[in-house]
Every structure is written in structure tokens, then in C-alpha cells.
């Protein structure tokens, strides 16, 4: 039987708020540490890769990456990690639904840290077999795939839909913050040997894992709290009348990837949605394939930008490995602002697809300018890199958070939390396939020149935008019919 509702006391409300802040900060730090531990491969690429015969670089490389096909091998290494990550993403969410989320998250953090360190040990153990590095990256990718569904589910347990775009935009900046921290850490110790660039971030995520294990509360029910206002608007199915009788179903819809309230007596029992059925939900396929190309672009920058900066003359100066790695963080700083800005704009106009396409369209000329004019001076390079990060990461951040939550809780799913878990896995998993493909293609195409790489990135952005045209038309038509768009507030 469902317990009768009681008024929330001021003390209980303060306790709830303190827990929400704690969960926000802990999950933010946890996933930032995941991204920090992913960053070392991009920082050490310019050391592992072969010397550019057309420059005065003195790098000797590290076998098996020091031959004429060295960049190919590096791309294949990225593919190994990201393929395992994308495959693991499809299963990690469903496993997390069935075991303790905090423990599962910590398992992913400890495993990721351990195998990041093992990769770095290849430096001191003088390992030169490609198979060693590939296997380590595959296992590390599987552990890394645990992180995202766990943190999304935990945050979903504590927060509802109100201002979802802005809140998720701020929270999702952990990816860029983690990239920045990882770049700085890996670059700072690079002079002591590239192995340290892996060991330090690896130890970092393990330390954060212990903090998370000791302090993170996965669900309000674990401490006897109830989160108010976790309703998700189900269009015509939910109206103002009889709000109390609809409360349980609304709460169930508002939980991101969580099935903890599934057995409440008054909840509407809905069977878990099928994988194929989830693909057929309105907007899922469009956003999934849009994220495929958006994440392809974002992860190409994630894994190859320091290498590109290292091999590009800026204002007549050839930057060092350390300087190139630190400078690349400007892209991620832009990504922080891009995710927040995209979430804020999408909340204001209530049109996620319009916001995403706007960012994608603007990113095309900015990337062209970055390639053409980025080498003129350090100021132009920094400014254009910042804008590139802002515009590239904006839609990527928006789709992986607020859009996935919106699609998983739309009216046709009747608030089924299992639909949200499946939809999120489809969107993020498909995007991760693109993330695996982008760095691999960059490794091969870069041998033909960086103009070819930027052409690939711009083509991917155009395809991402085209895939949302139908959704954009639907959003614009809906707002115009209601007389509420644009600038209706």
C-alpha cells in the first residue's frame, strides 16, 4: 500500500537540498574524473607518433607507433577503446538498473583507473607490442562505459524536469572540466616520461572513486526522503485536475533510468519497452544519428587536437608537447559554456532541435576560420578554438542529457522509466559509435593533410544538422500553431 502523503518539514527540506547539492557535486566530480582519465592518449600522441619529416621536430616516437603508419596505429588504438565503450554502453544501463548504482559506479571508476595506470606502465616495462595497448584500451573502455548510465540514473533520482536543459547543461560541463583537468595533469608530467601522463589521472579517478563510495547516496529512498515535484509533463495525459491521484505515475516518469519506484501500488504498470520499439519512438532515430555525427566531431577534437596543435605552426612558433596539450584545453573551456548556453536557450524557446541545429550551422564557418586563420596569432587561435568548442559541444551536451530525457518520458511511453533507460542507451550508444569512428578516420586521413580532416568534420556537422530537419519543422510548426514562438516570454 502507498503511504499517505505528508507535508515536508523545513528540516526535511533542508536535508533534501543538502543531499541534492552533494549528489550534484559528487556525480559531477565522478564523471569529470572519467573524462580526465580518457585524456592522456591525446596528449601523448605527438610523442608516440612518428616524426614529421617536413618540420624540425626531434621526436623519435615509440614503437609500434613510430613507423610510417604510426598515426594509423594510434587511430586503431582509439577505435579499440571507443568501440568497447560504445558496446558496453548498450548493456551498462540495464545492469545498473539491477544492482546497487553506487557500487556499480565505483567498480567502473576503479577499473578505469587501474587500466589507465597499466597503459602507462608500458613506458617503464618497455612494452612495444600493439596487442598489449589494444587489449588494455578495450578493457578500459568497458569499465568507462559504466560511468555515464550510473551518474545519469543517480541524478535522475534526485532531480525532476524543471529547467532540465539548464541544470543538465551546467551538470554536463563535467565532460569539458574533466578534459581540462586531464590535459593539464597529463601535460604537466609529460617531461618526466609519457607513462606518468597515464598514472596520475589513473590514480586520480581511483581516489575520487573512494570518495564516491564513502559519501554518495544513490536515491532519496535510501535515506528516507521524498523528492517533490518530480513530475514529467505527459502532454494531454496529465492536466491540473486530480493531481494527487496522478502523482505516482508522474514521479515514475521523472526518474532518469531508474526503476526504484516501479513497484508502488498506485503506479501504472507498464511493460519494459522493446529495443526495436524504442527506435520507433518519435525523434529517437533522428537524434541518435545526429549524435552519431556530433560525437564523431567532438571526439576527433578530444583525441587529436593536441596532436594537431603540436604539428601546426602558430604565429611562426612550433609549440612543445606540453604547451600544445595545455593550449588544447581552450576547446574544452568553450565546451563548458556551450553546454550551459545550449541548455538555457533550449529551455527558453522550448525547442531542443532548433537549438541544436542553430549551434551546428554556426560551427561550420567557425571551423573553417579556425583552420584557415588559427595559425596567424595566438589570440586568433585561442578565440577561434574557444568558439569551436562552444558550438561543437553545445548540441552534443544537449542531446546526451535533456533531449534523451525528454524522448524517454514523452507521452507515448506513458512515463515508463524503462523506456527512458532504453532510449538513453540507444542515443548514447549510437553516438559512441560515431565517437569511435571519428578518431580512427582522423588517424588515416591526417596523412593526406589536415584540410582533409577538417572537411570530414564539416561534412559530419552538415549531416548531423540535416538529420534534425524533420524534428525542427515539427517544433517550429507546434510553436507557431500555439502562437508561442519565437520570443513568447
Q: Please check whether residue 391 lies inside any domain of the structure.
A: yes
User: How far is 477 from 88, CA to CA, in rounded Å?
Assistant: 38
Q: Please check whether residue 232 lies inside any domain of the structure.
A: no
Domain that holds residue 43: 19-60+68-217+273-482
Surface-to-core class of residue 191, CB atoms within 10 Å of its CB (0-12 exposed, 13-18 middle, 19+ buried) = exposed
Q: Which residues of the chain have pLDDT under 70?
A: 1-12, 50-60, 93-94, 96-97, 160-166, 227-275, 278, 402, 404-422, 484-489
Count the Cβ atoms, other than its own, within 10 Å of residue 375.
17
The dihedral sign for the CA sequence 201, 205, 210, 214: positive
User: How far is 350 from 489, CA to CA, in rounded Å?
Assistant: 11
Q: Please check whether residue 458 lies inside any domain of the structure.
A: yes
**Confidence at residue 484, expressed as pLDDT on a 0 to 100 scale:** 61
Q: Please check whether residue 10 lies inside any domain of the structure.
A: no
Cβ-based neighbours of 408, under 8 Å, separated by 6 or more: 256, 419, 420, 421, 422, 423, 424
**Confidence at residue 97, expressed as pLDDT on a 0 to 100 scale:** 65
**Confidence at residue 22, expressed as pLDDT on a 0 to 100 scale:** 93
**Confidence at residue 132, expressed as pLDDT on a 0 to 100 scale:** 96
Helices 352-373, 378-398: axis angle to 10 degrees equals 160
User: How far is 262 from 252, CA to CA, in rounded Å?
Assistant: 7
With beta carbons less than 8 A apart as the criterion, state whether 380 and 327 touch. Answer: no
The CATH number given to whatever domain includes residue 386 is 1.20.1250.20
Cell of 315: 604565429
Cβ-based neighbours of 210, under 8 Å, separated by 6 or more: none
Q: Please check whether residue 489 lies inside any domain of the structure.
A: no
Select from 442, 366, 374 the least CA-distant residue to 42: 442
User: How far is 150 from 218, CA to CA, in rounded Å?
Assistant: 9
Cell of 433: 559509435
With beta carbons less than 8 A apart as the criterion, state whether 434 and 292 touch. Answer: yes
What is the C-alpha end-to-end distance of the chain, expressed in Å? 43
**Confidence at residue 251, expressed as pLDDT on a 0 to 100 scale:** 41
With beta carbons less than 8 A apart as the criterion, state whether 286 and 468 touch. Answer: yes
**Confidence at residue 254, expressed as pLDDT on a 0 to 100 scale:** 43
Select from 352, 365, 450 the least CA-distant residue to 401: 352
pTM confidence score: 0.73
**Confidence at residue 70, expressed as pLDDT on a 0 to 100 scale:** 83
Count the Cβ atoms, other than its own, within 10 Å of residue 159.
22
**Confidence at residue 236, expressed as pLDDT on a 0 to 100 scale:** 34
Q: Please check whether residue 134 lies inside any domain of the structure.
A: yes
Q: Please check whether residue 381 lies inside any domain of the structure.
A: yes
CA 363 → CA 179, 208, 394, distances in Å? 20, 34, 10
Q: Please check whether residue 7 lies inside any domain of the structure.
A: no
Count the Cβ atoms, other than its own, within 10 Å of residue 27.
24
User: How far is 379 from 229, CA to CA, in rounded Å?
Assistant: 46
In this structure, the dihedral spanned by the alpha carbons of residues 425, 427, 430 and 431, taken in order and rounded to 10 degrees, is -120
CA 427 → CA 47, 210, 361, 400, distances in Å? 35, 30, 21, 7
* Span 108-150, pLDDT tens digits: 999 999 999 999 999 999 999 999 999 999 999 999 999 988 8
Cell of 316: 611562426
**Confidence at residue 264, expressed as pLDDT on a 0 to 100 scale:** 40
**Confidence at residue 372, expressed as pLDDT on a 0 to 100 scale:** 93
Three-state DSSP at 318 gives strand
With beta carbons less than 8 A apart as the criterion, state whether 179 and 401 touch. Answer: no
Q: Residues for the chain: how many in total? A: 489
Instruction: Count structural domains, the chain.
Output: 1
Amino acid at each position: 500500500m502507498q503511504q499517505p502523503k505528508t507535508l515536508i518539514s523545513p528540516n526535511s527540506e533542508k536535508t533534501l537540498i543538502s543531499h541534492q547539492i552533494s549528489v550534484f557535486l559528487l556525480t559531477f566530480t565522478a564523471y569529470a574524473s572519467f573524462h580526465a582519465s580518457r585524456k592522456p592518449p591525446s596528449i601523448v600522441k605527438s610523442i608516440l607518433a612518428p616524426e614529421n619529416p617536413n618540420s624540425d621536430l626531434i621526436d623519435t616516437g615509440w614503437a609500434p607507433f613510430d613507423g610510417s603508419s604510426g598515426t594509423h596505429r594510434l587511430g586503431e588504438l582509439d577505435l579499440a577503446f571507443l568501440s568497447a565503450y560504445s558496446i558496453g554502453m548498450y548493456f551498462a544501463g540495464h545492469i545498473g538498473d539491477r544492482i546497487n548504482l553506487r557500487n556499480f559506479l565505483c567498480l567502473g571508476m576503479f577499473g578505469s583507473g587501474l587500466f589507465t595506470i597499466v597503459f602507462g606502465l608500458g613506458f617503464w616495462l618497455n612494452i612495444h607490442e600493439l596487442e598489449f595497448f589494444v587489449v588494455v584500451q578495450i578493457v578500459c573502455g568497458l569499465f568507462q562505459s559504466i560511468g555515464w548510465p550510473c551518474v545519469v540514473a543517480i541524478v535522475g533520482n534526485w532531480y525532476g524536469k524543471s529547467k532540465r536543459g539548464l541544470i543538465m547543461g551546467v551538470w554536463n560541463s563535467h565532460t569539458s572540466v574533466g578534459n581540462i583537468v586531464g590535459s593539464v595533469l597529463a601535460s604537466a608530467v609529460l617531461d618526466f616520461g609519457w607513462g606518468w601522463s597515464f598514472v596520475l589521472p589513473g590514480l586520480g579517478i581511483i581516489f575520487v572513486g573512494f570518495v564516491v563510495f564513502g559519501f554518495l547516496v544513490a536515491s532519496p529512498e535510501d535515506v528516507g526522503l521524498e523528492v517533490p515535484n518530480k513530475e514529467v509533463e505527459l502532454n494531454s495525459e496529465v492536466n491540473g485536475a486530480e493531481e494527487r491521484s496522478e502523482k505516482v505515475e508522474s514521479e515514475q516518469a521523472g526518474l532518469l533510468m531508474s526503476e526504484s519506484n516501479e513497484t508502488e501500488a498506485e503506479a501504472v504498470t507498464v511493460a519494459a519497452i522493446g529495443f526495436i520499439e524504442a527506435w520507433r519512438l518519435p525523434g529517437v532515430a533522428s537524434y541518435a544519428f545526429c549524435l552519431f555525427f556530433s560525437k564523431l566531431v567532438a571526439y576527433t577534437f578530444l583525441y587529436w587536437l593536441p596532436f594537431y596543435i603540436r604539428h601546426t605552426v602558430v604565429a611562426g612558433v612550433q609549440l612543445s608537447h606540453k604547451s600544445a596539450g595545455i593550449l588544447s584545453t581552450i576547446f574544452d573551456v568553450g565546451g563548458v559554456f556551450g553546454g550551459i548556453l545550449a541548455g538555457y536557450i533550449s529551455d527558453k524557446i522550448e525547442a531542443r532541435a532548433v537549438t541544436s541545429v542553430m549551434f551546428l550551422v554556426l560551427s561550420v564557418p567557425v571551423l573553417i576560420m579556425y583552420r584557415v586563420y588559427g595559425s596567424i596569432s595566438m589570440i586568433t587561435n585561442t578565440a577561434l578554438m574557444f568558439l569551436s568548442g562552444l558550438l561543437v559541444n553545445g548540441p552534443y551536451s544537449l542531446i546526451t542529457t535533456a533531449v534523451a530525457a525528454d524522448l524517454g518520458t514523452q507521452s507515448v511511453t506513458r512515463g515508463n522509466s524503462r523506456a527512458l533507460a532504453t532510449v538513453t542507451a540507444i542515443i548514447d550508444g549510437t553516438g559512441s559509435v560515431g565517437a569511435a569512428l571519428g578518431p580512427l578516420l582522423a588517424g588515416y586521413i591526417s596523412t593526406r593533410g589536415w584540410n582533409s580532416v577538417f572537411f570530414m568534420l564539416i561534412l559530419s556537422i552538415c549531416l548531423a544538422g540535416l538529420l534534425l530537419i524533420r524534428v525542427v519543422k515539427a517544433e517550429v510548426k507546434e510553436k507557431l500553431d500555439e502562437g508561442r514562438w519565437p520570443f513568447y516570454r
